[in-house]
């Protein structure tokens, strides 16, 4: 039992600490000698990096955020490999890592607990856990963003669809009930977290004030 607790704690800790290495903040400080959180929406994510510093900054941020989601899940899986024989779903370590990586990204311990919204970190986690769902989720994202220009709308819609697609894919795979519960609940938690982090964007969408690519946006974003 103690060994199990230690493995779970180590998995959660490594994921949170990795998530806290906020790529957007590091790139803005080290490359542009500024803090992206002082501009635009105040978030340290790819979208705000793009609007503030341009495409190169956004690309570096996106790559870093996705990779840390992938790495957190891979380490979590490796750590949970030491629990072989225990009656624990093999998916638990992966989803626990993905969830804590998103928490770390949004509330980074290294940067005053003020980070980004976790979409790309969650995408990296998904890429490591269930890459087969990525094309479908990406298509949903494009169907939302291309006609509206609102990345936030695409992110929120994908976050809402993710648990449903995970459940459907798990049923199609014939996963054991234990694994189906872990994957669906894990996906739901990640989805809810991403939607919650976009609550101000959702309010602006309702008010018709949300930023749209290709159009002038208001000073307060």
Tens place of pLDDT for every residue, the chain, 221 residues?
788 899 999 999 999 999 999 999 999 999 999 999 999 878 888 888 988 999 999 999 999 999 999 999 999 999 998 887 667 888 999 999 999 999 999 999 999 998 888 999 999 999 999 999 999 999 999 999 999 989 899 999 999 999 999 999 999 999 999 999 999 999 999 999 999 999 999 999 999 888 787 665 444 33
pLDDT score for 215: 63
pLDDT score for 164: 97
pTM across the whole model:
0.90
List the Cα angle 122/84/185 in 5-degree steps: 35
Could you tell me which residues come within 8 angstroms of residue 207 by beta carbon, excluding any fewer than 6 positions away? none
pLDDT score for 218: 44
What's the number of CA atoms in the CB half-sphere (13 Å) around residue 192? Answer: 7
pLDDT score for 13: 97
């Amino acid at each position: 039992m103690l060994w199990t607790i230690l493995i779970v704690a180590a998995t959660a800790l490594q994921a949170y600490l990795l998530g806290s290495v906020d790529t957007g903040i590091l790139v803005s400080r080290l490359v542009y000698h500024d803090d992206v959180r002082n501009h635009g929406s105040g978030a340290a994510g790819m979208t705000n990096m793009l609007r503030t510093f341009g495409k190169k900054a956004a690309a570096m941020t996106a790559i870093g955020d996705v990779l840390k989601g992938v790495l957190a899940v891979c380490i979590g899986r490796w750590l949970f490999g030491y629990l072989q024989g225990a009656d624990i779903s093999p998916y638990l370590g992966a989803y626990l890592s993905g969830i804590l990586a998103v928490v770390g990204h949004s509330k980074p311990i290294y940067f005053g607990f003020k980070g980004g919204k976790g979409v790309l970190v969650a995408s990296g986690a998904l890429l490591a856990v269930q890459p087969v769902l990525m094309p479908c989720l990406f298509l949903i994202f494009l169907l939302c963003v291309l006609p509206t220009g609102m990345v936030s709308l695409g992110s929120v819609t994908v976050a809402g669809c993710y648990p449903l697609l995970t459940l459907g894919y798990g049923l199609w795979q014939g996963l054991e009930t234990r694994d189906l519960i872990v994957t669906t609940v894990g996906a739901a938690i990640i989805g809810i977290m991403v939607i919650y982090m976009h609550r101000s964007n959702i309010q602006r969408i309702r008010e018709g004030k949300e930023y749209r690519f290709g159009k002038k946006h208001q000073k307060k974003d």
